[in-house]
């Protein structure tokens, strides 16, 4: 299946310290001009910059915040939440080594995998969930025991079973903008995926080292929230293509509260994580109430 050409997710996994580049000028303003003090504008409504978002309690389903959470939009590599869930439901032998071929490499974007490289399914699953490797994901689908069209049908059937009415998939990686969902649907999908111990363990791993039959690999997680000490992260996935913007779905435990946050269509890599932090902070701060925006 040929996907349209678009920008593939390629982002730093660990947080980069923010360095201020603002230079303060102390010279007096020119005569006749008034010095204007500029204030940075906050996000619309004071919460998120993203086009759509949701925060909910994963155990009760209570929605604590939403913004356009029912609007269907491209979800980029959040698609892999469903792809890897369906793959794991096939009960694969994760210790089995399989070959990477040109069929998976073609048009898949950036990858550390090479043609004819022999890699364990467990290692490919780490690459798919942690750094959104599209080649690894395609190999997993090929080795699932299901023909490609049956695997895709299983993804859409699973969406129907979970009552994800705004969700539809046309391929496995998220490269195609026709893979769509809503913030509310993605939150429910993450809730189900996180029940799988393999998914939970891998998606919360900061870094992972393994060796294929021919060489060593080092994988880092693209979810920046894992690298801070503010919250405990119990699961998650990032995604990006131009049409989707920057997306993230994550399960957060903060001050004894379990919360699932989904942000779709944030304008920058850093903004999606800052949006999550604002959503969580406004909820665990005493006196704040549920909001729909």
Quick check: is 52 catalytic? no
Query: With the CA atoms of 195, 199, 200 and 202 taken in that order, what torsion angle do they form, in degrees rounded to the nearest 10?
Result: 170
Of the residues 80, 128, 144, 212, only one is catalytic, namely 80
Task: State the number of CA atoms in the 13 A half-sphere of 93 facing the CB.
Answer: 4
Of the residues 128, 132, 181, 203, only one is catalytic, namely 132
Query: With the CA atoms of 192, 231, 125 and 14 taken in that order, what torsion angle do they form, in degrees rounded to the nearest 10?
Result: 150
Burial 144-180 (b: 16+ CB within 10 A, else e): bebeeeebbebbbebbeebebebbebebbbbbbbebb
| Cβ neighbour number for residue 2 with a 10 Å cutoff | 9
Quick check: is 80 catalytic? yes
Cα(251)–Cα(48) distance, integer angstroms: 17
Quick check: is 132 catalytic? yes
Please check if 237 is assigned to a binding site: yes
| Cβ neighbour number for residue 93 with a 10 Å cutoff | 9
- The DSSP element (H or E) to which 258 belongs, if any, is strand 257-266
Of the residues 52, 67, 69, 77, only one is catalytic, namely 77
| Cβ neighbour number for residue 211 with a 10 Å cutoff | 11
Cα(157)–Cα(149) distance, integer angstroms: 12
Residues with active-site annotation: 77, 80, 132
Annotated binding residues: 237
Annotated binding residues for substrate: 237
């Amino acid at each position: 299946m040929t996907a349209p050409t678009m920008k593939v997710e390629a982002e730093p996994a660990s947080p980069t310290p923010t360095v201020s580049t603002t230079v303060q000028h102390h010279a007096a303003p020119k005569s006749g001009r008034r010095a204007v003090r500029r204030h940075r504008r906050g996000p619309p409504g004071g919460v998120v910059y993203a086009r759509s978002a949701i925060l909910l309690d994963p155990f009760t389903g209570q929605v604590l915040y939403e913004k356009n959470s029912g609007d269907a939009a491209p979800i980029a590599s959040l698609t892999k939440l469903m792809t890897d869930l369906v793959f794991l439901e096939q009960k694969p032998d994760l210790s089995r080594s399989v070959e990477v071929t040109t069929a998976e490499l073609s048009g898949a974007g950036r990858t550390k995998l090479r043609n004819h490289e022999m890699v364990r399914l467990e290692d490919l699953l780490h690459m798919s969930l942690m750094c959104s490797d599209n080649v690894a994901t395609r190999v997993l689908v090929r080795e699932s025991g299901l023909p490609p069209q049956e695997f895709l049908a299983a993804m859409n059937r699973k969406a129907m079973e979970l009552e994800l009415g705004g969700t539809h998939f046309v391929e496995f990686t998220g490269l195609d903008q026709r893979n769509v969902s809503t913030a509310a649907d993605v939150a429910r999908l993450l809730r189900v995926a996180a029940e799988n111990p393999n998914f939970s363990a891998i998606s919360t791993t900061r870094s992972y080292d393994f060796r294929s039959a021919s060489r060593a690999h080092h994988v880092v997680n693209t979810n920046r929230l894992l690298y801070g000490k503010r919250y405990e992260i119990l699961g998650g996935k990032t995604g990006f293509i131009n049409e989707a913007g920057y997306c993230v779905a994550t399960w957060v435990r903060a001050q004894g509260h379990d919360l699932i946050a989904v942000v779709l269509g944030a304008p920058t890599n850093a903004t999606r994580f800052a949006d999550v932090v604002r959503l969580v902070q406004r909820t665990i701060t005493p006196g704040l109430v549920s909001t729909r925006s």
